[in-house]
Amino acid sequence: MVPHEVLGVSPDATREEIRSRYHALILQYHPDRSEAPDAADRTQAVTEAYHALMGRDSGDGGRTRHIRKQAAKYHRKDPAKKGRAARKAARKAAKVKRPRRVDCGTCGGRGVTTRTRTVLGIMKRTEEVACLDCAGQGYVVQ
């Protein structure tokens, strides 16, 4: 079905008309307010039509929206950061740091350590065992 028909607006409707009609239909069909058996399906159809008309795909632009929200947060914390500076700070904060491998400090990257044991109080035995800190890998993830 065509999004304009779902919302009941003309094809040349303004964004404000689409928005007000969407809100009215959501109030009418929302499952918490309506006892109709197909209320959830109608609500979903209305929401999808609204997003199609307003130019939003459900999976697109989530990161952009997140960065805008973060930029607003940085602007509230530091009013000197506006516009580009706030967006740059938000992008920097949104980046995920990847873990990196570092040689184990206990075994020196070998994965084994030497252990000396005394047998019967007089004999010393030296053996190599897997490093407990890196579980024999030779590296730890930081």
Q: What is the pTM of this model?
A: 0.41
Reported as a single tens digit per residue, the pLDDT across 27-69 is 998 888 888 888 888 888 898 888 888 875 444 455 566 666 6
The secondary structure of 59-85, three-state, reads: CCCHHHHHHHHHHHHHHHHCCCCCHHH
Mean pLDDT for 115-131 is 85
pLDDT of 24 higher than 90: yes
Query: 71: pLDDT confidence band, cut at 50, 70 and 90?
Result: low
Mean pLDDT for 67-95 is 68
If you average pLDDT over every residue of the chain, what do you get? 80
Alpha-carbon distance of 115 to 109, in angstroms, equals: 16
Higher pLDDT, 25 or 89: 25
